[in-house]
Amino acid sequence: MYVFVNTNLDNRLKAELQQQLPEDITAVFRHDLPQEEQKKAFLSADFIMGNPPASWFSQPLPNVKFWQLDSAGFDGYKHVDLKGVVANMGDYFAWPCAETMLAGILAIYRCIPELAVLQSCSEWVGAPIRERTGLLRHKQVVILGTGTIGQAMRQMLSGFACSIQMLARTDPHADLHSAEDLKAVLPHTDIVVNCLPGTATGFFSAELINAMKPGSLYANVGRGSTTDEAALVEALQSGRIGSAVLDVTAQEPLSADNPLWTMPNVLLTQHTGGGQPDEDAGKVTQFLKNLTRFRAGEALENGVDLARGY
């Protein structure tokens, strides 16, 4: 049996993976193969590590027993029909994503972007900025999505004594279950944190944006496609809502003429939210851990249903 490794690992991690694989499993590294042989090797694999091109799944994969994605998101694979089990990297990327959103929200409230610009210009303003700072403490927050990122956000925001509601369509433990539920609470909500997957395309609509509390903050670390970006830009430009922290946008990278670049009430973190030291080593560790669980007949960590999107 062999594992097709789509992830582009360096030589150190290739060696570590090969050393730790069971004796009856061999690693085949996509990027070590000639281009014309890569798909053929993929189609014969027993296990997959990483995110191969979605188009490769158009042919049957009768041998695949377990597939470990190397990302948290997987909406590009929602039409893949696979008999084997699948897991993502939800927990691994949840904490850095949540920390990025927390950092961005705090930065907005404490005027950090403005202060950083002033520092780069050697300009001292001081006291007038104090009057415009805000507090995260005791804010009313709605988190869209109860997955790993949403849960990490809830834990972090709880430390600021925030009042938190969570939205999820099918999670019985969520506080809100529909756009109508959300619309009813938005006029009283200070912060909306979007952690939705790409399968929720267009969910945060113009209608919901227009229902937000004046001066409120919108943060998105899910997918840019889940938000009506034109309506968001209009609401930010008009002052109908106060600010936004965006790790993801509808188009990435943003076009040079996109107004989000120059809006002082917008903080762009450029899809760096999941970043952390030695990411690929973590992917190897997670693959090996789940491979062991799979072969022992145990449930996978971060098992997902491709068709359902979570």
Residues 189-218 have pLDDT tens digits of 999 999 999 889 999 999 999 999 999 999
Residues 44-56 have pLDDT tens digits of 999 999 999 999 9
State whether 288 and 224 are in the same domain: no
φ/ψ (deg, to 5) at 26: -110, 145
pTM of the full structure: 0.91
CB 224 within 8 A of CB 250: yes
Q: Is residue 305 part of a domain?
A: no
Q: Is residue 191 part of a domain?
A: yes
State whether 240 and 283 are in the same domain: no
State whether 283 and 232 are in the same domain: no
Which range marks the domain in which residue 33 is found? 2-91+279-295
Question: Of 148, 145, 159, which Cα lies nearest the Cα of 105?
Answer: 159
Q: Is residue 127 part of a domain?
A: no
State whether 259 and 160 are in the same domain: yes
Q: The domain that contains 63 carries what CATH number? A: 3.40.50.720
Number of domains in the chain: 2
Q: Is residue 110 part of a domain?
A: no
Q: Is residue 186 part of a domain?
A: yes
Residue 64 has pLDDT above 90, yes or no: yes
State whether 158 and 250 are in the same domain: yes
- What is the average per-residue pLDDT within 238-251? 97
Q: Is residue 139 part of a domain?
A: yes
Average pLDDT, the chain: 96
CA distance 214 to 230: 18
Q: Is the peptide bond before 253 cis (omega within 30 degrees of 0)?
A: yes
Q: Is residue 121 part of a domain?
A: no
State whether 225 and 284 are in the same domain: no
Chain centroid, CA 15 distance in Å? 29
